[in-house]
């Protein structure tokens, strides 16, 4: 099972003026619908991903700034399921300098966030990276599952230097995303590809190749097959098993963690106590009764008197028998 959890869908929405919305409309979601043109483009991209060998994909809706359900309706709800492939809904929030005041991951938006299967954060500064790793990665109904960094920007000194910060996010269950599209896209340019290689190598060094996933994050011409993506990951410093896990096992554990966001305190099921039923023909009952009989028989043998020893022969008779 190969997965691609970053299939861009729609333009990036601006959430800078999310707080200025009318308070009367708070909690009321706008109706979201797909145009026939958007549906045809989406169908063509899904057909290509199925042809490349992917069985799980996530359509990504991006919001810059703070998320507000009244201003940012979930347009992915109009996507119909298809046979042969699992389609997930993902929300990515770009953290800016003002994200410390709030990015929309609050308890009041819990019901609206349940319409998304996966929540991702894209930090752009050092404080926003610390916020994503230490605060929003802790398991909760509004927890983020993916931390995705813009790898084509200028390499920033010390952005991934604090391994304790990165490892804390991984221990909390979050993963770091590497989008390979900038490395193969012509629109990135030579400088963008160079920045991508430098930043990705630094991220692989900080994570030690663990807790990362590989996604597309580009248009249809930039998509590649799973084998090509794994070969690219080995060039970045990942081992072969780590490159394979970045498309399979790590993504599966991520989807399992995403399901716990819909439950109370990450409990997947309610445990039930099953009492044993005693039956006459039950093999356990027969074995118990037979062992009980053996114990009773052994007790009876213990209480039986021991047989008397044979009588001793006199000493004179022994001497005569020896002389003969």
* Residue pLDDT, tens place only, 179-231: 999 888 887 788 888 889 988 999 998 998 999 999 998 888 889 999 999 99
107 versus 20: the higher-pLDDT residue is 107
CA atoms within 13 A on the CB side of 51: 9
Q: What angle, 0 to 180 degrees and rounded to 10, lies between the N-to-C axes of helices 189-207 and 163-171? A: 70
pLDDT digits over 58-67, tens only? 999 999 888 8
Is 50 exceeded by the pLDDT of residue 55?
Answer: yes
How far apart CA 301 and CA 296 sit, in angstroms, is 9
Q: Which two tokens stand for residue 151?
A: 């790898």
Is 80 exceeded by the pLDDT of residue 300?
Answer: no
| Average pLDDT of the segment spanning 125-152 | 89
| Average pLDDT of the segment spanning 57-78 | 89
Q: What is the pLDDT of residue 120?
A: 94
Contact by Cβ (8 Å): 54, 5: no
Q: What is the pLDDT of residue 162?
A: 78
How far apart CA 62 and CA 75 sit, in angstroms, is 11
Q: Please report which confidence band the pLDDT of residue 73 belongs to, taking 50, 70 and 90 as the band edges.
A: confident
Q: Say which range, 17-21, 64-68, 88-92, has the weakest mean pLDDT.
A: 17-21
How far apart CA 104 and CA 74 sit, in angstroms, is 14
Q: What is the pLDDT of residue 22?
A: 44
| Average pLDDT of the segment spanning 28-36 | 59
How far apart CA 176 and CA 122 sit, in angstroms, is 10
| Average pLDDT of the segment spanning 258-278 | 66
Is 90 exceeded by the pLDDT of residue 249?
Answer: yes
User: What proportion of the chain, given as a percentage, has pLDDT over 70?
Assistant: 72
What's the predicted TM-score (pTM) here? 0.75
CA dihedral 283, 288, 291, 292 (to 10 degrees): -140
Is 80 exceeded by the pLDDT of residue 102?
Answer: no
Buried b (16+ CB within 10 A) or exposed e, 182-204: bbbbeebeeeebebbeebbebbb
Range picked from 30-44, 110-124, 250-264 for highest mean pLDDT: 110-124
Give the residue from 172, 181, 180 showing the smallest Cα distance to 211. Answer: 172
Is 80 exceeded by the pLDDT of residue 148?
Answer: yes
Is 80 exceeded by the pLDDT of residue 39?
Answer: yes
Q: Please report which confidence band the pLDDT of residue 240 belongs to, taking 50, 70 and 90 as the band edges.
A: very high
Is 80 exceeded by the pLDDT of residue 154?
Answer: no
């Amino acid at each position: 099972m190969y997965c691609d959890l970053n299939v861009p869908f729609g333009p990036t929405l601006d959430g800078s003026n999310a707080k200025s919305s009318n308070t009367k409309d708070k909690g009321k979601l706008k109706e979201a619908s797909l145009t026939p043109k958007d549906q045809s483009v989406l169908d063509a991209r899904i057909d290509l991903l199925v042809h490349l060998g992917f069985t799980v994909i996530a359509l990504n809706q991006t919001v810059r700034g703070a998320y507000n359900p009244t201003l940012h309706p979930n347009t992915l709800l109009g996507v119909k399921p298809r046979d042969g492939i699992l389609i997930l809904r993902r929300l990515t929030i770009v953290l800016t300098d003002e994200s410390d005041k709030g990015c929309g991951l609050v308890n009041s938006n819990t019901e609206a966030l349940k319409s998304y299967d996966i929540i991702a954060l894209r930090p752009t500064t050092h404080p926003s990276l610390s916020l994503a790793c230490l605060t929003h990665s802790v398991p909760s109904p509004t927890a983020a599952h993916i931390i995705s960094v813009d790898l084509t920007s200028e390499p920033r000194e010390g952005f991934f230097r604090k391994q304790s910060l990165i490892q804390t996010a991984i221990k909390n269950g979050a993963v770091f995303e590497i989008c390979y599209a900038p490395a193969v896209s012509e629109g990135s340019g030579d400088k963008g590809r160079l920045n991508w290689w430098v930043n990705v190598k630094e991220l692989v060094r900080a994570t030690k190749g663990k807790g990362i996933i590989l996604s597309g994050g580009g248009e249809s011409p930039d998509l590649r097959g799973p084998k090509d993506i794994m070969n690219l990951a080995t060039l970045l410093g990942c081992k072969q098993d780590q490159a394979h896990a970045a498309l399979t096992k790590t993504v599966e554990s991520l989807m399992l963690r995403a399901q716990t966001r819909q439950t109370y305190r990450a409990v997947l099921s309610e445990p039930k106590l099953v009492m044993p039923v005693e039956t006459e023909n039950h093999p356990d009952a027969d074995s118990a009764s037979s062992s009980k009989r053996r114990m009773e028989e052994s007790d009876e043998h213990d209480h039986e008197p021991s047989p008397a020893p044979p009588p001793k022969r006199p000493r004179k008779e022994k001497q005569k028998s020896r002389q003969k």
